[in-house]
Amino acid sequence: MARRAPAIERAVAVLNHLAAHPSEQFSLSELARELDLNKATAHAMLNALAEAGYLTRDPRDKSYGLGPGLIAVGTAALESNPAARVAQGPMEKVSRELELECVASAAIGGEIVILESAGVARPLGISIQPGLRLPLVPPLGSVFVAWAGAGQIDEWLAAVGPGASGEDLDRYRQALRVVRERGYSVGLGGDEQQRMIESLTASDGIHRAPTAPGEEYALVELADETPHRINHVGAPVFGPDGRVQIALFLIGFRGEIPASEVPAYAERLKQAADEVTASIGGVIPVPG
């Protein structure tokens, strides 16, 4: 196992926190409190990041925000991820056609990271900005895991924690099978989504496994006319090795829609994802 580097972990935590709140500034005390950092250590680290241009420091209130040095880093990162770069055009097109937001995200180090977005957030809707991170914990991230090997699936399921029953784990596995068969994932919104978010993130900011299993969030049955509040529809983009490189998601659904109408949205999104897959020389796995 690689040795931990606490100083680097602290710097990454600061940058991730600021990336999740790109329009806000935070004081030393606020960052130290929210990230559980020693103030003296945090002060030296923040100054070093500011000197490098990765943070800005307001001379009036001494607050910190993201710096211009990260623009070059972010641009270079996008250049190294052709899928995210190529996806912007198809995302904007599908967003206009369906009048929904479309975001691209990747599974990175046990988290789901938002890379790109297209479309305008609806009033009072959830704002999804590039840089936002969510834990890769069931039922989140099924579209990233459905085509993975047994080891990666087991690792994803283990994130639920020891409190999950065998029945819960079977339901998550069923959700993965459904995603693999359809070629896309569907997540519920409304009360189901709120219960899941509350169980994923406690008041102390520590990610925890959701208490409500699979089907309460992942919509498995799409054949009937039962109306549902949809949180998202997700479709994978595959790389040349046949693995999921990024995923595209439709969000911003208004009100409730019949389950039978969801596949039309999903197939249009899947078209866009398959277009990106083809553009980067990706290989769509043969169902089996």
pLDDT in tens, 109-124: 788 888 888 987 665 4
Burial class (CB in 10 A: 0-12, 13-18, 19+), 240: exposed
- Are residue 87 and residue 228 in the same domain, yes or no? yes
How confident is residue 214, by pLDDT bands cut at 50, 70 and 90?
very low
Give the ranges where 21-98 is alpha helix by DSSP (H): 28-34, 39-51, 69-80, 82-98
118 and 11 share one domain: no
User: What is the token pair recorded at 21?
Assistant: 């709140």
Domain span at residue 37 reads 6-71
Backbone angles phi and psi of 182, in degrees to 5: -75, -40
Read off the pLDDT of each residue in 161-183 and give the average, rounded to a whole number: 87
* Mean pLDDT value across residues 271-281: 96
CATH number, domain of 223, equals 3.30.450.40
Among 71, 98, 121, residue at a domain's last position? 71
Mean predicted confidence (pLDDT) in 17-23: 79
Tell me the mean pLDDT in the region 185-208.
Answer: 51
Q: Residue 286 domain-assigned?
A: no
On whether residue 288 sits in a domain, the answer given is: no
Question: Which residues 6+ apart lie within 8 Å of 115 measured at CB?
Answer: 78, 81, 84, 103, 104, 105, 106, 130, 246
10 and 42 share a domain? Answer: yes
Which of 71-75, 241-245, 253-257, 281-285 shows the lowest per-residue confidence on average (mean pLDDT)?
71-75
Q: Please state, in angstroms and rounded to a whole number, the distance separating the CA atoms of residues 250 and 265.
A: 8
Given a cut of 50, whether residue 192 has pLDDT beyond it is no
- 90 part of a folded domain: yes
Please check whether residues 105 and 173 belong to one and the same domain. yes
Q: Are residues 67 and 28 in the same domain?
A: yes
Q: What is the pLDDT of residue 200?
A: 39
Q: What is the model's pTM?
A: 0.73
For residue 211, pLDDT over 80 is answered with no
Mean pLDDT of 187-205: 49
Give the total number of structural domains in the chain: 2
